[in-house]
Amino acid sequence: MLALLQTRAATLATAESLTGGLLGARITRVPGASRVYLGGVVAYATEVKQRLLGVGEDLVEQHGVVSAECARVMADSARRLLGATYAVSTTGVAGPEPQDGQPVGTVFVGIADPSGITVVSLALSGNRDGIRERTCDEALVALGGILRREEPGLR
């Protein structure tokens, strides 16, 4: 995935909530990641999502921070704030308790790219660490799918 980004001279940013920086750490443990990964925002608290990523109070009241709408705004804002070609966001419930009326394992991954924003909804099972790790796996798979779909000759 990082090779595809580099081939395109594209860059990547992240906006993380339930993964708490784990996604950025996964990306940066790959040698050469600095060629494409610009950085990320870890916005664990709702107030930080609102202040730094522009998640509106109305959105929080209507949909909650564990929602496709929140993932969409987080990804779009990270892309714009960091000046990246692509941005991936993660928001959800890792547990141990439900949040915003959503059960443990409810996750939304947002991917913003030059043509728009895609949100992937996940219903994961397992313990807190497993849900966080699996969220990172799924986020990277989703980004890879978008990159391959956009690859000339692979449509």
- Span 16-63, pLDDT tens digits: 999 999 999 999 999 999 999 999 999 999 999 999 999 999 999 999
DSSP 81-145: HHT-SEEEEEEE--SSS-BTTBPTTEEEEEEEETTEEEEEEEE--S-HHHHHHHHHHHHHHHHHH
pLDDT reported for residue 1: 87
Give the DSSP letter of residue 21: T
Q: Give the count of beta carbons closer than 10 Å to the beta carbon of residue 86.
A: 25
Sheet containing 86-92: give its strands across: 37-42, 12-16, 86-92, 106-113, 116-123
- For residue 40, give both structure tokens: 């990320």
The CATH class for the domain spanning 2-149 reads: alpha beta
| Percent with pLDDT over 70 in the chain | 97
Residue with the two structure tokens 């790959």: 30
Taking 50 as the threshold, does the pLDDT of residue 126 lie above it?
yes
pLDDT reported for residue 155: 45
Once rounded to an integer, what is the mean pLDDT over residues 103-116?
98
What SS3 class is residue 42? strand
Taking 60 as the threshold, does the pLDDT of residue 153 lie above it?
no
- Mean pLDDT, the chain, as a whole number? 96
Q: What is the pTM of this model?
A: 0.96
Taking 90 as the threshold, does the pLDDT of residue 146 lie above it?
yes
Question: 143 near 88, Cβ under 8 Å?
Answer: yes
Residue 96: beta bridge partners? none
CA distances from 33 to 79, 96, 115, 145 (A): 17, 32, 23, 19
pLDDT reported for residue 150: 77
